[in-house]
Structure 1
Amino acid sequence: MSRAERARRIATAAAFGGGGLGAIGAAAYGVLLTEVQIARKVIGQPFGNAGPGGEGLYGDFPGEPIQLVMLGDSTSVGLGADHGSQTPGAVISAGLASIAGRGVQLRMFGRVGGQSWELEGQTARVLDESPKPDVAVIMVGANDVTHRIKPQVAVQALAASVQQLREAGVEVVVGTCPDLGTIQEIPHPLRFVAQRMSRQLAAAQTIAVVEAGGASVSLADLLADEFRQHRVDMFASDRFHPSATGYARVGEAILPSVATALGYLPAERDRVPDHDRGEGIDDVAHAAVLAADSAGTEVSAIEVSGSDRGPRGRWAAFRRRRAPRDAEQLASASGDTAA
């Protein structure tokens, strides 16, 4: 069975119920969980059970601010960063404010140790509170792997959250499950198992997110090589969570997809996938597998010849979005032209 077929099967099982551990056997799953628990006991919990904060208004601009919310697990609240301004939500908010020329109000609903099943409660809180968000960023998945949650169950919960948010008119961008194979405290060959499991979940997450009307951004390959080569800089002291430097890369990867979803980068939104940049169009399952292996790749729905589906299911575009780096790039990306 190909990886695309396996990811599609997990996503399908999530939609209709049923399914088990899939390609990874229960024995390997149990051994991996034991190794992660042993590593955690050795390392400890230097950050406690709360993130460094970071909620508030970003950007000094007049008018109503953009409402951005973060949902998910410890990565969504930036556990491991030294200050609230270093969390991924803060990085995204500051960048979005600069691109949009509007303030961005950041609120966090994620929880340290959170799993996908908790998204139901987080989403309910988001939609119950005022003001309604313009965009939600969800980062979740690692704890589903390490706590032996069935992939189908985790994906079903994520899909339900995305669907509820989209039905409420909220744009959604999901940072998929990170690559647990970067954790060196997990010995070989279990590290390979961890990588396989996390990327399998990431691909299935992508299928479900796109089907529910959101966009996904792969985080696995984006950080894997740098985490291996620059562990002191990219990992926090617990050797599990990203450092401020790592979170900066995460935020930078998600930012252009958030800005595009909100319509602030129309040139980027309408850009045809560029094969020279490793982009393209495929059915969503194959696009999801490609994204799980490729740094910072966004996957979103697209129509081909006026149809949203082909012989193998929904069409999807996979792109490597880029945020503007200076005023000239920003004017071009936003569709502005000089008078």
Structure 2
Amino acid sequence: MRKLFLPLLLLLAACVAEVPRNARIIVAGDSVMAWNGGSRNVAAQLQRILGEPVGDVSLSLAQVDGGIGPLNIPQQINAHAPEWVVLNGGANDLSRNCGCSDCAPVLDRLVSPDGSSGAIPELVTSLRAKGSKVVWVDYYTAPRYAGTTCEAPYQALEMRLSRMAAGDEGVTLVDLDQSFRSDDLSLFANDRIHPSTKGSALIAQSIVNRPDFAGGYFVQRLGDHIE
């Protein structure tokens, strides 16, 4: 089994795109960031909108408090210290370690109720200590789970993340429920969970449109050119 493990890690590492040396922005996280491939995912859409290099280390199945190598989100970004890190995470931790109920222990490991401790605040603190500003992208409500009990853990995660972000002006929380409608199926892939190409573009636009992303510099520079 161990003989198979190293080739698997090397294969996973090869799936992660290289980071341009002059990239001021790096995208990390799970399949919501990585979906639609390296030419149409969130990082590619950000690069298209901004007209500058954007690094991408995101990978499907990645976790915050689990996973090995590039399947661990802190490890994805560990070797980098860009001006901005755009990332997400937590969905795979929740789906693998709890159902749609009794998720409190998993949530607590990810981020405490007051937002001050847990794997996510630890990751954000480490990035801030390296001088990076952080954009944490919270999840949308996917059509497959809309109106079900599966919404509750993600609503709790959102509240905790908002408290975390409120404690540091260098951390921005982007709540995708403010721009995604779960009944607009054009925003979602056929599995009704992951974003379509249009959805990835909307995620990128939601990030860029935040006035606290790069101090509003990108919004001011692009003006009406943002599609």
Task: Give the TM-score taking structure 2 as reference length.
Answer: 0.72
The residue number in structure 2 matching 1:73 is: 30
What CA deviation, in whole Å up to 9, does each residue of 1:167-225 have, x standing for no partner? Answer: 11001000013324x216x7xxxx432222212211111212332541101012421x2
Q: Which amino acid aligns with 1:183?
A: R
When structure 1 is superposed on structure 2, of 115-124 and 140-149 the one drifting more is 115-124
SS across alignment from 1:217 = strand
Residues 128-143 of structure 1: pairs in structure 2 closer than 5 A: 128-129=79-80, 132-143=81-92
Q: How many residues align?
A: 198
Structure 2 partner of 1:222:
179
Question: What is the Cα deviation at residue 73 of structure 1?
Answer: 1.2
1:146 aligns with one of 68, 89, 95? 95
Instruction: Provide structure 2 residue ranges, at least 5 long, that are not aligned to the other structure.
Output: 1-11, 112-117
The one-character-per-residue Cα deviations of 1:118-154 (angstroms, maximum 9, x if unpaired) are 499543553425xx31110112232233232521111
Which residue number corresponds to residue 133 of structure 2?
Answer: 171
CA distance in 2, matches of 1:152, 1:205: 12
Q: How does 1:1-339 map onto structure 2 within 5 Å?
A: 65-77=22-34, 79=35, 81=36, 83-97=37-51, 103-108=52-57, 110-118=58-66, 121-129=72-80, 132-147=81-96, 148=98, 150-155=106-111, 156-180=118-142, 182-183=143-144, 191-212=147-168, 213-223=170-180, 225=181, 227-228=182-183, 230-231=184-185, 233-257=186-210, 260-263=212-215, 265=217, 324-326=223-225
Q: CA deviation at 1:75?
A: 1.0
Q: Which SS does the other structure have where 1:172 is aligned?
A: strand
Contact 2:42 2:200 in 1 (8 A): yes
Asked which structure has the greater CA Rg, the reply is 1
1:304 maps to what in 2? none
Identical pairs, percent: 20
TM-score, structure 1 as length reference: 0.50
237 and 324 in structure 1: CA distance in 2 versus 1, 3 angstrom threshold: same
Listed one character per residue, the Cα deviations across residues 248-285 of structure 1 (whole Å, up to 9, x for unaligned) are 1111101233x7433452997xxxxxxxxxxxxxxxxx
Q: How big is each residue's C-alpha offset from its partner over 1:80-102, in whole Å with a ceiling of 9 and x where there is no partner?
A: x2x422211111222233xxxxx
Which residues of structure 1 form unaligned runs of 5+?
1-48, 58-63, 98-102, 269-322, 330-339
Equivalence for 2:8: none
In the aligned structure 1, how far is the partner of 2:54 from the partner of 2:120? 24
